[in-house]
Amino acid sequence: MLKRMRIRHKLDKRAELGDVVRDGEKTYVVINIIKAHVFVDANGEISAIYDCLCQRYRSENLSEEFVTTQTELPYGRGEWDEIADVGNIIYDTETGIYVSIERIAGIRFEGETMYVTYEFSPVPEWSDYEMDEAVLKYRHRFMHLVRHDEKRTQEQKPSY
């Protein structure tokens, strides 16, 4: 299951695929960074805001049921500037998954209605292995094992 999320970081923090994000009790992994914005708040502090596509950890893979498809969508005169660009990632309400616009296969007009034929494919979700690796890498940042003999040298040895 994918979810589009907006993530805010200070400029000294790196954003990359595989980052783990918590949303309430749920864990998500960033699988695509869609867009980056720079934001200056009222105090003059600069932050980066990333629109990301995140996959819920241990969720069902909905995209594997679908293949690349074409569809023709009508745009009225007032909607001509709303045509999706190649590379856009949009949520398909009919299927309940995110899809990527692969190409515009054709454009035709009937009167003042523009018909655009899009070719789109489901955004591939990461495998369970890739998700486990990302979460494990994230957890390793916080958990460090120490060898038994190293632990003794780190502790104060009692003097007799």
**3-state SS assignment for residue 106:** strand
Cβ neighbours of residue 61 closer than 8 Å, sequence gap 6 or more: 125
What pTM does this model have?
Answer: 0.73
Mean pLDDT of the chain: 87
Q: What's the one-letter identity of residue 93?
A: T
**Structure-token pair, residue 141:** 């940042």
> How does pLDDT run across 48-97, given as a tens digit for each residue?
999 999 999 999 888 888 888 899 999 999 999 889 999 999 998 888 89
